[in-house]
Structure 1
Amino acid sequence: MDLSSAEELYPIAILMDELKSDDTQLRLNAIHRLSTIALALGPQRAREDLIPFLQDNLDDEDEVLLALAEELGKGFFEYIGGSEHAHLLLAPLASLAEVEETLVRDKAAESITAICAVLSPAQIEQHYIPLVFRLCHGDWFTSRTSSAALFSPVYPKASTATQDELRKSFAKLGADDTPMVRRAAAKWLGPLVKGMKKEHVITEALPVYRRLAADDQDSVRLLTIQDLIAIAQQMTPPEVKDHLLTQIRQALTDKSWRVRYMVSNNFVDLAEAVGEDLVRDELVNAFVQLLKDNEAEVRTAGAAGIPGFSKLVDRETILTKILPCVRDLSADSSQHVRAALGTHISGLAPLLGKDATIEHLLPLFLHLLKDEFPDVRLNIISKLEQVNNVIGIELLSQSLLPAIVELAGDKQWRVRQAIIEYIPLLAQQLGKTFFDEKLSNLCMSWLGDIVFSIREAATVNLKKLIDVFGVEWASQAIVPRVVAMATHPNYLYRMTTIFAISAISPSLNVQVLRDDILETVLRLAGDPIPNIRFNVAKTLDVIATVMIASPNDGGTEVTKNSLLPVLQQLQADNDADVRYFSGRALEKCMAVQ
């Protein structure tokens, strides 16, 4: 390495010292500074000195190698002169793609494919393709495993002759003696197929898929489900029936639950790919069997696919075939199955229509809302809007309001929080009168919840309600009850008062703030609890923003006569936080004088 000055030597010398250090963190720091060092060296020196240095010093801990594989793929070619020199990064990454650690190999392959995107056709033919073939035919399974990921990005860019060689080489990976290589081939066959012409899919990719789909390792077979979908997408429905029906049936009844799980998890994509006739003739009954599978994981994945698959069949099939399974799943022994159903069952409402939803789904909602597992209740609540759009909020509220009121006091705070987030929608649809009669007390009770997150959500809920019903309603229904909490002996209630006022103030006008709220806030400025006083200072900052924005409504006068004196008083507080937040608010108020 011919370096002409100490200044030029310094960056690379530091890098070498740190990479050779016994301290892993130092070596990691050096790797993360590669772009800085390359920038200091300049493009030519980075190409001539830095890249060879990295190539020669790859014997390191996996953590460092992983960082290097990631760093080289994050646009590092820009530091060595741009995309015309990007191929120089392939050599060190190819070495990383051959190490034993899977994470390093995967990251190296990811970085190689990222570099492929910026290579010219000449660079691909001269550098990338030879690299793929070298790794593909390597003696160690690690290189062959990594090579599987490199075919699909380059295949559409390669010449016809090279494409022929790529397909033949990939077929060898699919028949490799090592299960890990076959797994890699199964994982990456689908992406490769998407770039092939149909004739090559049928004549060359299909035999590879069939071999892998019949593999004795279920870890290989389960990965072929994505391949099955990719191949089906390249064919017409009659071709799918001719070439893939046997494999589809085998996958649906595979002895391994992990394979059936993958089928269940990707069932909607598979159904969309195979065509309407096969869905009707084969997949409806197959889907029912998956929803009744012995393994809970398979049923859970199937439950998630119920709305998506139901879109592909007629309403009669939903009512006669799928809904009976849904009823069974609502009482499934696995809480995870019921939770998945709770998340997705509401997706059936738009497909069934109003009458069928009322008849078939509402009873299931009520049943699931009483489930002993909190996630089931939570998932049902969070998706009720879809049902509301179909049957209307009035009917929904009549059917579910008792359950919602019961869940408002649920022992699981996340369920109570989900109910709070649903209240503004209910309020908007039900109107002021219904809300004041049925839900107002409920909303105020949350302000005294023992869990801070619930109290916080309750204050946000009040603001949303004011945005729905207006300031006049707030001044009569909300504000008096909020300020009444300011005299509570428990400081948490007084704190909640301040939080609530801070949350709703932007939605109120100067008159309500001045006449109904300000006196309470100013009184709490003298509270013995420092946390309350500094939150008062933060709230005065919010109120000041409203006042300053409304000078014609008396906001300037309130700022000068009421806010400034109290904030100046808080500036002398013995608590540092109180002084800091009051100082910020005071600075804002002083600006309007």
Structure 2
Amino acid sequence: MAGAAGPGTGSGAAGGDGDDSLYPIAVLIDELRNEDVQLRLNSIKKLSTIALALGVERTRTELLPFLTDTIYDEDEVLLALAEQLGNFTGLVGGPDFAHCLLTPSGICHLGHEILAVLQKSCLQPPLESLATVEETVVRDKAVESLRQISQEHTPLALEAHFVPLVKRLASGDWFTSRTSACGLFSVCYPRASNAVKAEIRQHFRSLCSDDTPMVRRAAASKLGEFAKVLELDSVKSEIVPLFTNLASDEQDSVRLLAVEACVSIAQLLSQDDLEVLVMPTLRQAAEDKSWRVRYMVADKFSELQKAVGPKITQNDLIPAFQNLLKDCEAEVRAAAAHKVKELCENLPSEGRETIIMNQVLPYIKELVSDTNQHVKSALASVIMGLSTILGKDNTIEHLLPLFLAQLKDECPEVRLNIISNLDCVNEVIGIRQLSQSLLPAIVELAEDAKWRVRLAIIEYMPLLAGQLGVEFFDEKLNSLCMAWLVDHVYAIREAATNNLMKLVQKFGTEWAQNTIVPKVLVMANDPNYLHRMTTLFCINVLSEACGQEITTKQMLPIVLKMAGDQVANVRFNVAKSLQKIGPILDTDALQEEVKPVLQKLGQDEDMDVKYFAQEAISVLALA
């Protein structure tokens, strides 16, 4: 845009009027009028380039007023515009002119075409306009940009330009502007004067009791953030009553957001103030008639626990957590189950074991046989972590029976989550304690009808192999790993190939030479060409792990033999394999064995085979 035909060069660029100083903005007008949304979007994304070409003064006086007219565009274009304007402070002249992005700019003498475009514009600042549009993502991006720009204002400019904008939005006729205002109070409050601070708090209070639920939701979502920048007295006298009211709102979508704000508010208050001002409301939320509110309490439980401290946790949160673990709604039980490990970890070390054994474990035992698979799966993802907290004896006596029960669960995700966290138990009691129940569970998962379940267990196989040891692995699991290599799903075969490389890295090249390589090479004679190709893929990854000697003596002859395969796909993969293993081989093998085969493949009747063979010759410098 600002290239050879940029501003101040050439002639007639702005449509033949002889003044091409308007070139960038004139082209922008044409592009933004285009029916192609992608073209308009690309144009908006070039705004910074256009602004640089125009210079700071013309950006302030021409470009910004013009952009106000784009508020009637597609949401995708408006979103890009909102994002661009957040980085515009430097392009309008720096912090001293940041207010230009907030305040309508006067129009200087513009060309007739630009004036015609601007004629219908209300000259409301672009970001303020974008903060009032119907599409939520556009408003959110506009608010994000406004928050960014607010930091670049001096305190004086903030009160002169930014605070009035916030007030206008907060008192707007449409709920969209009032929701946007909620996200701006916290960024302007800390640097405002006391008189203005009082006004800001008053506006926020009004929004917390707004008639429109969407506005109250927005206010509730920003309550905790706003509380953090207020003086402590104001938190106790104003924020806490607002929190209480929002937590009792008729809309559960407002009440659940108040729970989130509770974390921030609790961090600001003393233990005595917490007990009196916050805990009654939090107890009420934990027993709310709406499962969504109870779910939010469960989801935020670890944060609440840290915020209120150990004493209140023991007296209030543990009983609340017990109720959440046996809630009538499965979603709530699952959310609480996810927090079991974090709850136990965050308990004070003194008395932790007693609290877990007496007040948490009995409820966990019930969840192991829950009727809902999502609850059981959530518990299985964290329960193994309790072994490191409770120690060896308690793990063997109390947790091991639960682990074994979950390894036999009918739900694949439950078994998978137990297996994927075995390292925790291995640290405490050793995995051999689980081996008898572990093997059937692994076999079932390895043969599960869902290929993603099979894929997941493959990814944990190197970890299991390291924990179980080479003898157990060879006896019980080696055959599974080989079976995956001929799975009907390519993703499984690919993962199984990478799995072999990791196993070789874990058990060593001697094990690979004796156990894995011979079985892989046998597949080179398989009637299914896909399996023959898998042999080549395995050689590609194993050669690097096994080194030069094994690659040259055992793998290379098989690859060279497969160069005569009747299937072209196999032949061009031979060329790719030779290119892959070439750097591992010595010069003699390359010249005497690899080069002749590649030259022959380079004359193959199949174009793909020829291409990959010639590429391999070039890469290996065998020409």
CA contact (8 A) 1:381 1:418 kept: no
2:618 alignment counterpart: 587
> Is the contact between residue 218 and residue 259 of structure 1 (CA under 8 Å) also seen in structure 2?
yes
Could you give the per-residue CA deviations for residues 315-340 of structure 1, whole angstroms, max 9, x where no partner exists?
Answer: 12222222222222222222221221
Q: 2-side partners of 1:534 and 1:284: how far apart? A: 64
Change in Cα spacing, 1:367 to 1:413, as seen in structure 2 (3 Å) is farther
Deviations 1:401-427 (A, max 9, x none): 332233322222222222222222232
Summarize the alignment of residues 171-250 of structure 1 with structure 2, pairs less than 5 Å apart. Answer: 171-250=205-284
Match of 1:517 in 2: 555
Counterpart of 2:89?
Answer: 77
Equivalent position SS for 1:293: coil
Range with greater deviation from structure 2 (211-220 or 112-121) = 112-121
Match of 1:268 in 2: 302
Contact 1:506 1:542 in 2 (8 A): no
Which residue is equivalent to 1:10? 23
1:291 Cα deviation from its structure 2 partner: 1.0
Taking a change above 3 Å as real, the CA distance of residues 337 and 5 of structure 1, as seen in their structure-2 partners, is: farther
Secondary structure at the counterpart of residue 311 of structure 1: helix
Deviations 1:131-172 (A, max 9, x none): 112211223322111100011223233334433332222112
Q: Secondary structure at the match of 1:58?
A: helix
Q: 355, 372, 377: which is aligned to 1:317?
A: 355
**Is 1:424 aligned to residue 466 of structure 2?**
no
For residues 262-305 of structure 1, the C-alpha deviation after alignment (integer angstroms, 9 at most, x for no partner) is 11111111111112111111111110111111111111111111
Query: Aligned to 2:323, which of 286, 289, 314?
Result: 289
Alignment of 1:334-483 (within 5 A): 334-483=372-521
| Aligned sequence identity (%) | 53
1:565 paired to 2:578: no
Partners of 1:510 and 1:129 lie apart in 2 by 71
SS in 2 for 1:525: helix
Per the TM alignment, residue 55 of structure 1 is displaced from its structure 2 partner at its CA by 1.5
| Equivalent residue pairs, number | 584
Which ranges in structure 2 are unaligned for 5 or more consecutive residues?
1-13, 103-124
Report the secondary structure of 1:573's partner residue.
coil
User: Which of these residues, 90, 93, 100, is aligned with residue 88 of structure 1?
Assistant: 100
RMSD across aligned positions (CA) = 2.2
- Closer, same or farther in 2 for the Cα pair 1:451/1:205, shift >3 Å? same
What secondary structure sits across from 2:481 in the alignment?
helix
TM-score scaled by structure 2? Answer: 0.89
Distance 1:481 1:140 in 2: 71
TM-score between the two structures when normalised by the length of structure 1: 0.93
Please state whether the residue corresponding to 1:365 is helix, strand or coil: helix
> C-alpha displacement at 1:247, in angstroms?
0.5
Q: How does 1:537-576 map to 2 (within 5 A)?
A: 537-547=575-585, 555-576=586-607
- 8 Å contact kept, 1:564–1:589: no
Paired with 2:417 and 2:606, the residues of 1 have a C-alpha distance of 44
SS in 2 for 1:353: helix
Q: Is the 8 A contact 1:194 1:230 kept in 2?
A: yes
Contact 2:70 2:78 in 1 (8 A): no
Task: Check 1:202–1:532 CA distance in 2 against 1; reply closer, same or farther (3 A cut).
Answer: same
Q: Which moved more, 1:237-246 or 1:400-409?
A: 400-409
What's the CA shift for 1:399?
4.4
Distance 1:151 1:588, change over 3 A: same
Deviation at 1:106, TM superposition (A): 1.8
CA shift digits 1:476-519 (9 cap, x unpaired)? 11111111110111112101101111111111221111111100
Aligned pairs (5 A) from 1:10-159: 10-73=23-86, 75-90=87-102, 91-159=125-193
> How far apart are the structure 2 equivalents of 1:463 and 1:35?
49
Q: Distance in 2 between matches of 1:577 and 1:124?
A: 66
Partners of 1:41 and 1:455 in 2: how far apart? 57
Instruction: Provide the C-alpha distance between the structure 1 equivalents of 2:17 and 2:233, rounded to a whole number of angstroms.
Output: 59
Change over 3 Å in CA distance of 1:467–1:29 after alignment to 2: same
Contact kept, 8 Å, 1:291 with 1:325, in 2: the verdict is: yes
- Give the whole-Å Cα distance in 1 for the aligned partners of 2:569 and 2:366: 52
Amino acid in the other structure paired with 2:43: A
| More displaced 10-residue stretch of structure 1: 98-107 or 257-266 | 98-107
Partner of 2:204: 170
Sort the Cα spacing of 1:559 and 1:79 in 2 relative to 1 into closer, same or farther, 3 A: farther
CA distance in 1, matches of 2:312, 2:21: 69
Gapped regions of structure 1 (runs ≥ 5): 548-554
Moved more, 323-332 or 18-27: 18-27
Gap change, CA 1:444 and 1:236, over 3 Å in 2: same
Matched with 2:370 is: 332
